[in-house]
Structure 1
Amino acid sequence: SFFFFDISASSKFSLGVLVLLAFLMVLLSLVTILGNILVILAFILDRNLRHPSNYFFLNLAVSDFAVGVFCMPLYIPYALTGKWHLGRGICKLWLVMDYLLCTASVFNIVLISYDRFLSVTKAVSYRAQQGITSNPAIKMVAIWVFAFLLYCPAILFWEHVAGHSVVAADQCYAEFLHNWYFLLCASALEFFVPLLLVTYFNMHIFHNIQRRQRRGSTRDCEPARGSSLSWRFCGLPRPGASSPPSEAEDGVSFPMKAKKESLVTDCSSPSRNNSVIPENDFSVSFCAKTRSKLQQDKKRAKSLAIIVCVFAICWAPYSLLMIIRGVCQGKCIPNSLYEATFWLLWINSSLNPFLYPLCHVKFRMAFLKILCPKKFATLRLSSF
């Protein structure tokens, strides 16, 4: 109780409001920490999650976890009292970590969207790349390097280049906070360009899925007699028909030679009189797998769209107000409104772990295995 009375003496809030705000801030920090620990533990304990593309979710969880364990706790006393009591060195460290982690979180969302874009629209080349040249560690490290270069050099060296500091001794914010043209350029790279990229990726994903749905609705997948069976359900031209190369089901263009080779290996079983023997089980299985892949892509596309929408809602107010605040030197935007958008930005790190189960059934099973091992064992036994 002495702690709250001591803070309230130097705070603009009443004691009741102060207690409520402190409780909500600490709760948000705990939710962020525990939620992202759950994601990290899921990767450690469940080998099924260790797919190359899922490591990007792990990278996102690490950055969000660090926000909850470092950035939020150090900022809570500053937000409640309006004064920084931890010294200049800790202030610089906090600023570097805060800008680095939040920017890395955004870049990870872009990388996840790009990875989903490739897996849906260029499935064949994507699978080939996963087995040959893909190295998620390089992309994950690159995310952190780019995130560091965007803000951190300016945080560390701005006052040395300018020759003086504009930040008071009891305050802690970046020296460039009122430099609107730097904020405009940095915000474009941190939020507006990533938002355009993830929107572009998602639009193409949904367009690809809709095109595949239209093709599937006009194609008869039931077994048929004669040589037309395999050519029809594979979506390829009949033997002897002249048609230009077209896009495959996964959106990847193949040369005609590759198509002709795939006709023999995947889609047909020629007999002596050059007719195709219908393989009913094979055709039904093929169509079932195609439909299953389409449904899986639809679910992942919807879940990714939710993550992107949450990202836009949480980041847009802060990014816009930061630029406006820089233009008017902080005089046209109430500080309380700016503080609210600042916490909204951090809420994104708290929500991300709860959005993971929407992205993949393996996440749901991994979380269930950690939180409810008995229920997980029951479900696993019932599936056999």
Structure 2
Amino acid sequence: MNNKDYSQNLTVQYCFPDNNSSCRKELHTPTNLLILSLAVADFLVGLFVMPVNVMQLKDSCWYLGKVACTVFPLISNLLMSVSLCSLVFIAVDQYIAVCDPLLYSTRVTVCKTSLLIILGWSLSLFYILLYMCFNDHLLQSQISTECYGECVLVLKYSWVMIDLVFSFLTPCSVILVMYSIIFNVARRQAKAVRAVLNAASQQHGTKVSHSSKTKAAKKLGIVIFVYLACWIPFYLSSLTVENVTSSSIVWTVFGWLTVMNSSINPLIYAIFYQWFRTSVKYIVTCRIFENSSSRFNLFSEGV
């Protein structure tokens, strides 16, 4: 499979109405919707979660009130859960696209993907509500504080184990299995294509480059490595620390790693995908507000 053709499936199109055109339906692809879900979750993490975490780093006191003490952990855990859920959906989407490309258009549709995204957000919300309720941090009557200005989430060890299974082991296993299969299938396809190209190149005395295979392996390896590097320390610390609370230094340090995973995802796209760098350039320079923005070709220009 051609890497450029596949990366086009991941393109996020920016379309603004002009005098002669409107947003085109063909741009609403299942993969774009999944990336949009991931982007929304990551953006909200940076907009709401990170500033509050910075405030807590500077001062241990909670200045936002009891209602915010309940709402903030709920929003924070929900967005992190949705981000992980979106990564799993993207892995499954890529698996179907690579391993069963002929039936991809019938198995994966915009309607099914939209329902899957809604289901993912809903199940994540339901799980986090249970998570907060059974750890006595959902209702204000459940929250007990020793002093004014305290907002501490104390996790029960049973729920540490439950969260380890549902928020780490399960999504981690799915992602690793999916990407392992994708890499093996892509390697076999690349080997078959390279054999044909080598046979043709021998007649012209040229040499076939292996750069596309190397780049594909590097992308998959970095995605998996970043995911594991951000989440393994947090759950290992949760299993080894006796009393897991949101005020502990271990929770703060390794909790920041999990939050940083949401900010690293766009950087991975920026490093490996030219279309992403080009689209960011259009946004920064405000060219997306031009009337012709709906006809921008993200692959024709370098950055």
Determine the structure 1 residue equivalent to 2:84: 106
Shift, 1:355, TM fit: 1.6
Q: Structure 1: 5+ residue runs without aligned partners?
A: 1-38, 224-290
Q: Does 1:340 align with 2:239?
A: no
Shift, 1:148, TM fit: 1.2
Residues 174/44 of structure 1: CA separation in 2 closer, same or farther (3 Å cut): farther
Q: Deviations over 1:19-71 (max 9, x none)?
A: xxxxxxxxxxxxxxxxxxxx999645597864321221111111111111112
Answer whether contact 1:64 1:350 (CA < 8 A) is retained: yes
Determine the structure 1 residue equivalent to 2:62: 84
Rounded to whole Å, the distance in 2 between the matches of 1:311 and 1:382 is 31
One-letter code aligned to 1:357 = A
Answer whether contact 1:95 1:173 (CA < 8 A) is retained: no
Determine the structure 2 residue equivalent to 1:318: 234
Shift, 1:90, TM fit: 0.8
Answer whether contact 1:113 1:201 (CA < 8 A) is retained: yes
Shift, 1:379, TM fit: 9.3
Answer whether contact 1:56 1:111 (CA < 8 A) is retained: yes
Q: Output aligned runs, 1:13-24, within 5 Å.
A: none
Matched position secondary structure for 1:159: coil
Q: Output aligned runs, 1:1-384, within 5 Å.
A: 43=14, 50-130=28-108, 135-156=112-133, 158-159=135-136, 165-169=143-147, 170-175=149-154, 177=155, 179-219=156-196, 299=215, 302-325=218-241, 328-330=242-244, 335-358=248-271, 360-371=273-284
Rounded to whole Å, the distance in 2 between the matches of 1:140 and 1:181 is 29
Residues 297/369 of structure 1: CA separation in 2 closer, same or farther (3 Å cut): farther
Rounded to whole Å, the distance in 1 between the matches of 2:90 and 2:143 is 39
Rounded to whole Å, the distance in 2 between the matches of 1:340 and 1:129 is 42
Rounded to whole Å, the distance in 2 between the matches of 1:110 and 1:305 is 16
Shift, 1:126, TM fit: 1.1
Rounded to whole Å, the distance in 2 between the matches of 1:380 and 1:312 is 31
Answer whether contact 2:11 2:275 (CA < 8 A) is retained: no
Answer whether contact 1:40 1:61 (CA < 8 A) is retained: no
Answer whether contact 1:49 1:363 (CA < 8 A) is retained: no
TM-score by length of 1: 0.59
Shift, 1:128, TM fit: 3.3
One-letter code aligned to 1:329 = N
Determine the structure 1 residue equivalent to 2:5: none
Count residues in correspondence. Answer: 270
Q: Structure 2: 5+ residue runs without aligned partners?
A: 1-9, 17-22, 201-207, 288-292
Q: Deviations over 1:315-353 (max 9, x none)?
A: 11112212322xx1249xx93333111111111111111
Identity %: 22
| Worse-superposed segment, 301-310 or 198-207 | 301-310
TM-score by length of 2: 0.73
Answer whether contact 1:300 1:359 (CA < 8 A) is retained: no
**Structure with the larger RCO, 1 or 2 (CA within 8 Å, 6+ apart):** 2
One-letter code aligned to 1:129 = R
| Worse-superposed segment, 99-108 or 63-72 | 63-72
| Worse-superposed segment, 294-303 or 310-319 | 294-303
Shift, 1:200, TM fit: 0.5
Shift, 1:173, TM fit: 3.1
One-letter code aligned to 1:82 = S
Determine the structure 2 residue equivalent to 1:3: none
